[in-house]
Structure 1
Amino acid sequence: MGSRKRTYDAEFREGAVRSVTETGKPIPEVAEEFGVHPETLHSWVSRAKRNGSPSSDTPRARPFSRDPEPSAPRRPDARRRRWTPP
């Protein structure tokens, strides 16, 4: 009763994700069209939003800044009722 794990190439994943994001169709509908499980397509869409690609598990690199903007002073931690160090 075991099922074989299927692998999908990057082009197929990107096409399925593009179909969800560009058409606005619900994930279950697109999943049925592409013949994949809705949870699989949901994970591809989530990964694409987070990392920029449905095939990549590594986040997009952020641009490097030598002189970061000064951060605002921290607020007191509500649970501890004390100031956290900057």
Structure 2
Amino acid sequence: MGSKQQTYTPEFREGAVRIVIETGRSVPEVAKELGVHSGTLHSWVSRWRRNGLASSDRPAEPAPDGRRFTSHPDRRPTARYERPTRPRPAFPI
């Protein structure tokens, strides 16, 4: 028998993410309190950090002043680590 997939409103997702971001509480703690699987809440938080929205994979539209909601005004995106490339041999090994 298949499991029933729970659907959450965008407002619920945003509220759950804000609790984690603004209070600094752990994802498992907030997830248990809200009755959401911790992996689900973790994905919402990760999506919010990546795109600015918990309920969509598309990047958030910037506000008229060009800013997105952040948990701290001095927060800056961190540079992603890029592995240096090695030169490839000129002949097959």
Q: TM-score, normalised by structure 2?
A: 0.65
Unaligned runs of 5+ in 2: 67-83, 89-93
In structure 1, distance between residues paired with 2:61 and 2:15: 23
How many residues get paired? Answer: 68
| From 83, 86, 91, the counterpart of 1:79 | 86
In the other structure, the counterpart of 2:6 is: 6
Amino acid at match of 1:55: S
* Segments ≥4 residues shifted beyond 4 Å: none
In structure 1, distance between residues paired with 2:60 and 2:7: 23
In structure 2, distance between residues paired with 1:49 and 1:32: 21
In structure 2, distance between residues paired with 1:25 and 1:42: 12
In structure 1, distance between residues paired with 2:85 and 2:33: 48
- Within 5 Å, which residues of 2 pair with 1:1-86? 1-60=1-60, 78-80=85-87
**Per the alignment, do residues 61 and 15 of structure 1 end up closer, same or farther by CA in structure 2, a change over 3 Å counting?**
closer
| Secondary structure of the corresponding residue to residue 86 of structure 2 | coil
**Per the alignment, do residues 46 and 80 of structure 1 end up closer, same or farther by CA in structure 2, a change over 3 Å counting?**
same
Q: TM-score, normalised by structure 1?
A: 0.70
Unaligned runs of 5+ in 1: 64-76, 82-86
| Secondary structure of the corresponding residue to residue 4 of structure 2 | coil
**Per the alignment, do residues 49 and 34 of structure 1 end up closer, same or farther by CA in structure 2, a change over 3 Å counting?**
same
